[in-house]
Structure 1
Amino acid sequence: MNTRIRRLYTLVFVLTLAFVAMSLYGVSLAFTWAKDLPNRVVIDGDALVSAFGHAMTESYHHALRDGEPAVQLQVLNEQFTAMIAENDDALAWVRGEYRADILALVDSGDGSVSDAATKLIAILDAEENPS
């Protein structure tokens, strides 16, 4: 019986040692892979700009069409009007992309949204047809 127990202990020790060795080898491979990961990751800046630009455009459309009046007012006053004041290219972008949505807001039931939309349309039309 003593011999069997010694053989069993030896077998368990060898199997445990083999398991620990394989585990350490796997961990070393994982660390090596993770250490080299920044060299393999390629970030495509143009693809990110395109994806985020499309998401931003759609979020503005959604806010102007289906948003609450407070959100619509914020987009009109704090986003579009400020953007047009700071950047000349923004005027053409807002006019081309959102003019129909802004025109629909002129007839809004909320007076402040209607006023803000009317003022923004006046800015867009004044810049489109300078006198």
Structure 2
Amino acid sequence: MKKFIYIVLSAPILLFSLCSQANTVTKTCSGQIRYCDSLGICTNEHYYLYSYQNVILNQDGTFKRHRYRMRTRSILGDASDYTPRETAVGEYVVYDGPVFSLAIPWVAGLPLYYFQPNFGVDEWQELCL
């Protein structure tokens, strides 16, 4: 009897762990972003970002489906220069661009982050909520 109960209770847990996760998030924000050039001179520059993404993840964080649209202006450059990484990082999809990397959540209610590798900003900074 105990073995039968154990098998019945463990089956739903196993099935749940094989399910994928899905969500759709749209965000728009603008403001000032800290930009540092190759000489280490830092200024605050204007940016605009619109992001839409629909993500379905496999349990290992790889994308089962990933649809996205981005529009950027000013210091962020052209949206077509950003490419998504192959796997999600927690609740975020990271897009790498020529100057900045952007972490855009696939879960509603989380802030956007940016990172400028090798130039003054050596950690992820909050871009907007």
TM-score by length of 2: 0.25
Which structure is higher in helix share?
A: 1
TM-score by length of 1: 0.25
Which structure is higher in strand share?
A: 2
